[in-house]
């Protein structure tokens, strides 16, 4: 049986929403949603939280996660890369538990609307397709071939991506997806050795928009609160 580790990485500082990972939403801290989803999935031998915050660490332990290290300062700032932080948690976990894990699943603490079914289905898709890693995304509202623009170095306003033929309807443009920062999955050798998400055997699991909000702003919090209230009223 393949051994899988779950990590949830949540630093104390945040520019968009102060202390967002421990901010209460619908009666419980934001990070608690991802912890409870991971535990409810039954897929993981351990659910490990990586943080530089004592407050987040205490909340994580209270909700059933394991916190046995404090993240180093160089991995806690605004410029710290996501993969480096997750790799650090993976290596520390193998050392702490004296065990090798075949797979790593990272759940982003700021994406609380994913379902346990999303975790199961994305992991099964990853295994079935023999991916090296997998990311999640939602269908994009806008297309770089139709209505996403950029300004070039000489000041020209232009489409971000152009084809040989002119696209007159968004529906006719190539399918594009917005990464939703919800679920990331790796094989052991991939997380240990690859510096980028995008590889020849990267898988894509598509989620609906209503389960894909990644909280970066106060308005995102309001959207998530609205959806949680709507779901609870059903």
Q: pLDDT tens digits for 20-38? A: 899 899 889 999 999 999 9
Q: pLDDT tens digits for 87-126? A: 999 999 999 999 999 999 999 999 999 999 999 999 999 9
Q: Helix count (H) and strand count (E) of the chain?
A: 6, 10
> What pLDDT is stored for residue 89 in this prediction?
97
> What pLDDT is stored for residue 233 in this prediction?
72
- Over residues 61-65, the mean pLDDT reads 97
Dihedral-angle region of residue 100 (phi above 0 means left; psi in -120 to 50 means alpha; beta otherwise)? beta
% of the chain exceeding 90 in pLDDT: 71
Residue 186 pLDDT exceeds 90: yes
> What pLDDT is stored for residue 92 in this prediction?
97
CB 112 within 8 A of CB 211: no
Residue 61's φ and ψ, nearest 5 degrees, are -65, -40
- Which of 81, 101, 76 is closest to 90 using CA atoms? 101
> What pLDDT is stored for residue 223 in this prediction?
92
pTM: 0.92
Q: pLDDT tens digits for 189-217? A: 999 999 999 999 999 999 999 999 999 89
The band of 78, judged by pLDDT with boundaries at 50, 70 and 90, is: low
> What pLDDT is stored for residue 166 in this prediction?
82
Domain positions in the chain are: 4-139+176-219, 141-175
> What pLDDT is stored for residue 81 in this prediction?
81
> What pLDDT is stored for residue 16 in this prediction?
58
CB 121 within 8 A of CB 185: no
Beta-bridged to residue 24, according to DSSP, are 29
> What pLDDT is stored for residue 15 in this prediction?
61
- Over residues 218-223, the mean pLDDT reads 91
CA distance 200 to 63: 37
> What pLDDT is stored for residue 167 in this prediction?
81
- Over residues 144-165, the mean pLDDT reads 89
> What pLDDT is stored for residue 14 in this prediction?
66
CA distances from 101 to 113, 132, 188, 190, 210 (A): 27, 14, 7, 12, 32
Residue 1 pLDDT exceeds 60: no
Residue 63's φ and ψ, nearest 5 degrees, are -100, 10
Buried b (16+ CB within 10 A) or exposed e, 41-73: bebbebbbbbbbbeebbebbeebebebebebee
> What pLDDT is stored for residue 67 in this prediction?
97
Range scoring the smallest mean pLDDT among 33-37, 159-163, 177-181, 213-217: 159-163
Range scoring the smallest mean pLDDT among 46-50, 77-81, 176-180: 77-81
- Which of 87, 118, 122 is closest to 197 using CA atoms? 87
Q: Domain 4-139+176-219 in CATH: superfamily?
A: Spore Coat Polysaccharide Biosynthesis Protein SpsA; Chain A (3.90.550.10)
CB 5 within 8 A of CB 90: yes
Residue 77 pLDDT exceeds 80: no
């Amino acid at each position: 049986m393949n051994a899988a580790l779950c990590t949830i990485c949540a630093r104390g500082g945040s520019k968009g929403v102060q202390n967002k990972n421990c901010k209460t939403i619908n009666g419980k801290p934001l990070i608690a949603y991802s912890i409870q989803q991971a535990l409810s999935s039954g897929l993981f031998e351990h659910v490990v939280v990586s943080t530089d915050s004592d407050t987040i660490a205490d909340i994580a332990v209270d909700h059933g996660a394991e916190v046995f290290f404090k993240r180093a300062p160089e991995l806690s700032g605004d410029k710290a890369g996501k993969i480096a932080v997750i790799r650090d948690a993976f290596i520390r976990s193998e050392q702490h538990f004296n065990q090798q894990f075949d797979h790593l699943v990272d759940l982003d603490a700021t994406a609380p609307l994913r379902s346990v079914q999303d975790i199961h289905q994305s992991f099964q898709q990853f295994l079935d397709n023999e991916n090296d890693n997998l990311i999640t995304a939602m269908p994009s509202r806008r297309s770089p071939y139709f209505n996403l623009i950029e300004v070039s170095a000489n000041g020209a306003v232009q489409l971000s991506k152009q084809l040989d033929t002119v696209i007159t309807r968004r529906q006719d443009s190539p399918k594009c997806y917005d990464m939703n920062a919800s679920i990331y999955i790796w094989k052991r050798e991939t997380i240990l050795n690859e510096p980028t998400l995008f590889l020849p055997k990267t898988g894509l699991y598509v989620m609906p928009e209503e389960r894909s909000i990644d909280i970066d702003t106060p308005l995102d919090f309001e959207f998530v609160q609205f959806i949680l209230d709507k779901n609870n009223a059903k």
